A and B are shown apart, each in its own frame.
Chain A
Amino acid sequence: MKRYAPVQGVLALCILMSLFGLPFLRFAPNRLLTGEGLSWWQAPLGPGHWACVLPLGWLLSARWPGNRFARGADMLVAVLWLLLLPWLAGTTARQWVPDADSLARVSLGAGFWLSWGLAALLLSERLREAGWPLWRRGLIWGATILLLVGEGLVGALDDLSLLREYGNHQDAFELAFGQHIRLVVFSVLPAVVLGALLGMAAARHNRLQGPLFAVLNLIQTLPSIALFGLLLAPLAWLGERLPASGIAGIGMAPALLALMLYSLLPITRGTLAGLQQVPAAAVDAARGMGMSPRQILWRVELPLALPVFLAGVRITAVQAVGLAVVAALIGAGGFGTIMFQGLSGSALDLVLLGVIPVVAMAIAVDLLFKLISAGVARHD
């Protein structure tokens, strides 16, 4: 019988250490300067300082590794921590830069990010241990994120540099959001259709597999910038020929095409792997009982290949969310635009304004497909 949960203890210690050892916030006279770090104690948190006793609870509960109540309390504390920390940061920022027009900035420091991120890790670890179904875990995360968004909506976080950047770039943000989703959906969707067809063809004709995967692997190894470059000339030519189509060497068309090409390999491979792991005996029995080839495909092969296929689509969609960032380089928009703008201006919080939604979107897509897979697999 284990007497102590080591991972949990270490996580709690790290949270405490990062809280006290690293700057919690940063204060800078303007957005381009790095500024000076403010420790937990320097920040005028007021009674909020006492929030630092919360991690002691995790340290304590690590004594009872398997205990349900300890686990529940830990989850509660973690959710509180995830909500409280930004709140405290927000109220502090308000005291330091009370004037909305001021150039001075308060941004989140390493101490904040680390202790917040580790707490998120601790929560996910505890949720995983509980062995709860995916939807319930998703619900807890969803509620936490909604409450966090709520904090932002009531204005509690408005004076943080990140939200300042959001306020200044709101239109660009909304535009980027729409573009990013469009980039992902309209590249993954055709890739799913085409990849599924290619995978089915490869499963039928073994000889097709060699050349097909040679080509797809080659595409996958091309750096995205190089692929954009390769697509530039033919698409520009096509655009000149068909001006009405809106196709051009840069912009949405090459980005969608490149993202679709990248998505093709994992989806084709997932389809083929899914079909190959269908038990040969099941197909033989289906044939022997008088199912037509079409019935075998729809009733036996595809349903049995579905879980592996969906896993392929999930990986592809998550990958596309990340890859779509690069599409900004050829003027296709998306969150990459905000990121690159921040990078070129050395404005870290602007970079974060581009990165955070991409990470959140990747996690959301991952969760969505896991939920779908769980729903599909529920029968056994």
Chain B
Amino acid sequence: MIDISQVSKTFGSAGPAVDDLSLHIATGEFVVLIGASGSGKSTTLRMINRLVEPDRGSIRFAGVDIRQIKPEALRRRMGYAIQSTGLFPHWTVAQNIATVPQLLKWSKARVADRIDELLTLLHLDPDAFRGRYPHQLSGGQQQRVGVARALAADPDVLLMDEPFGALDPVTRATLQAELLRIHALSGKTVVLVTHDIDEALQLGSRIVLMNHGRIVQQGRPIDLLRHPANTFVHDFVGRTEIGIRLLALDRVASRLRPGERAAGEPISAELSLREALSAFVARRVDRLPVVDEQGRPAGALCFDDLLER
């Protein structure tokens, strides 16, 4: 879907912001660009929709060199969401979401339907929120509208620059879960920038770790945790936390002993193993009863099972 090949970009006299970077992003992938501040993540993302023009190299979108597509036309085919939401303060929620559909000259009725559909998708009651102005929303609601706006014209690609960076942990977790749900539902290609390794591990089907404008390592979350290419990656994924983060990648359901019983308050099979570990320690037990999504007994989880065999 997106083919970045040997792209470089230098601003002013400082070193290159992006240095000979190549990256292939397949359709339907959820790619997370991660790295310290200033490592060139945003620049890479912004070159994809031509907000930044590379000095060297080329980028292809659906097989076409993006230099052959008018920037405005290209951007209208890619959803764009940023950390500070960038919602237009003088427009209502509905008008904000309608931005790209209106640029694409959709009919009024179609736009109105789409607004309601998206508000519902992001768990905002259309009747309550359609007419509000951004300053009448909480931070989390604003970001939901920001995501809805990015999705509005049903773009092939979603570009997101630290979209949940400014949110409190609880709201962030909720929105991360919803983004995963939307990704699974729509099969859209997502490129997301973050500096939060836990967010990257949770969301990405592939993680691209950057430093000084170059890719240090890329791969599935488990690859980065299990086989860090060097000490930089090792440090970045958090030396002492690697075990915990590995646990966070798997669900209770994957280590469950079906049919077995245990005493106490049951936990959900949908929890991550990390959360299960927390339950073991907090309750000082080594066996936990597990229920499935409908709340029916599904089996038991043993402390020993946390270790992969």
Q: How far is the CA of A289 from the CA of B159 in the complex (A)?
A: 10
| B residues in contact with A380, CB < 8 Å | 89-90, 133, 135
Q: Which residues of A (292-317) have their CB < 8 Å from a CB of B?
A: 292, 295, 299-300, 303-304
Among A279, A287, A300, the one with the most B-chain Cβ atoms within 10 Å of its Cβ is: A287
| A residues in contact with B103, CB < 8 Å | 289-291, 295
Nearest Cβ on chain B to A31's Cβ, whole angstroms: 57
For the complex, is A17 an interface residue (Cβ under 8 Å from B)?
A: no
B90 with A289: CB separation less than 8 A: no
Task: Give the A-B contact count at a CB cut-off of 8 A.
Answer: 68
Given A295-B103, A304-B90, A380-B135, check contact A289 B149 (CB 8 Å): yes
| A residues in contact with B46, CB < 8 Å | 288
Among the listed A279, A283, A284, A289, which residue makes an inter-chain contact with B99, where contact means beta carbons less than 8 Å apart?
Answer: A289
For the complex, is B84 an interface residue (Cβ under 8 Å from A)?
A: yes
| A residues in contact with B82, CB < 8 Å | 281, 284-285, 288
For the complex, is A2 an interface residue (Cβ under 8 Å from B)?
A: no
A292 with B72: CB separation less than 8 A: yes
| B residues in contact with A372, CB < 8 Å | none
For the complex, is B80 an interface residue (Cβ under 8 Å from A)?
A: yes
For the complex, is B291 an interface residue (Cβ under 8 Å from A)?
A: no
How many chain A residues touch B (Cβ–Cβ < 8 Å)?
20
For the complex, is B182 an interface residue (Cβ under 8 Å from A)?
A: no
Q: How far is the CA of A35 from the CA of B89 in the complex (A)?
A: 62
Q: How far is the CA of A316 from the CA of B256 in the complex (A)?
A: 75
| B residues in contact with A287, CB < 8 Å | 51, 75
Given A290-B75, A291-B103, check contact A282 B89 (CB 8 Å): yes
Closest B-chain residue to A303, C-beta based? Answer: B90
Given A279-B84, A284-B82, check contact A289 B100 (CB 8 Å): yes
A282 with B76: CB separation less than 8 A: no
A304 with B84: CB separation less than 8 A: no
Among the listed B72, B83, B89, which residue makes an inter-chain contact with A290, where contact means beta carbons less than 8 Å apart?
Answer: B72
| A residues in contact with B85, CB < 8 Å | 281, 285
For the complex, is B66 an interface residue (Cβ under 8 Å from A)?
A: no
For the complex, is A241 an interface residue (Cβ under 8 Å from B)?
A: no
| A residues in contact with B285, CB < 8 Å | none
A282 with B75: CB separation less than 8 A: no
Q: How far is the CA of A292 from the CA of B72 in the complex (A)?
A: 6
For the complex, is B306 an interface residue (Cβ under 8 Å from A)?
A: no
Q: Which residues of B (18-54) have their CB < 8 Å from a CB of A?
A: 46, 49, 51
| B residues in contact with A281, CB < 8 Å | 82-86
| A residues in contact with B184, CB < 8 Å | none
Q: How far is the CA of A292 from the CA of B103 in the complex (A)?
A: 10
Instruction: Known pairs A288-B75, A288-B80; list 17 more (Cβ under 8 Å).
Output: A281-B85, A282-B87, A285-B86, A287-B75, A288-B49, A289-B75, A289-B80, A289-B149, A290-B72, A290-B76, A291-B72, A291-B99, A300-B88, A304-B89, A304-B90, A379-B90, A380-B90
Q: Can you list 8 A-B contacts with CB-CB less than 8 angstroms, sorted by A residue number? A: A282-B89, A285-B80, A285-B85, A290-B71, A290-B72, A290-B73, A291-B103, A300-B88
| 5 closest cross-chain pairs (CB), A and B | A285-B86, A290-B75, A288-B80, A290-B76, A281-B86
